[in-house]
């Protein structure tokens, strides 16, 4: 039997706390994975808190892994070397390390599950 040395292993919806983080127009719900993995992995839900007023800003992240699953709504996204894509509920995408990207537009019910490695990372504004 392996000894468990990390944090909690369950995040109950009834205990959910929504807060602000990187973008003020989104709310973030940490799923407890950051503590459970001692900062190796972040898993959180991000939801729209206000209507989209246009592109969110071209940027990149210093991280090893980023995956997004769209729970509800839709969005138009832009990725360097790929161009614009539209995603809808049920879609998932991988964002390679350092890829420049931007959320162009999202629906009022936009909500995603995002998983990153590591949990803490730098975000850089980029010129397009």
In the chain, the domains with their CATH numbers are 29-125 (2.60.120.10)
- How far, in Å, are 10, 14, 36, 71, 98 from residue 7 at the CA level? 9, 19, 4, 26, 29
**pLDDT for the residue numbered 60:** 97
pLDDT in tens, the chain (128 residues): 444 444 556 676 777 777 777 677 899 999 989 988 999 999 999 999 999 988 989 999 999 999 999 999 999 999 999 999 999 999 999 999 999 999 999 999 999 999 999 999 999 999 98
């Amino acid at each position: 039997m392996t000894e468990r040395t990390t944090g909690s292993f369950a995040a109950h919806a009834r205990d959910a706390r929504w807060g602000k983080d990187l973008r003020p127009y989104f709310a973030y719900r940490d799923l407890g994975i950051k503590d459970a993995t001692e900062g190796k992995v972040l898993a959180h839900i991000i939801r729209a808190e206000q209507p989209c007023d246009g592109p969110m800003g071209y940027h990149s992240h210093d991280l090893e892994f980023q995956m997004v699953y769209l729970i509800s709504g839709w969005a138009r996204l832009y990725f360097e070397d790929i161009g614009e894509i539209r995603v809808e509920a049920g879609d998932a995408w991988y964002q390679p390390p350092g890829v420049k990207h931007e959320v162009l537009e999202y629906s009022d019910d936009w909500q995603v599950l995002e998983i990153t490695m590591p949990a803490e990372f730098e975000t850089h504004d980029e010129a397009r």
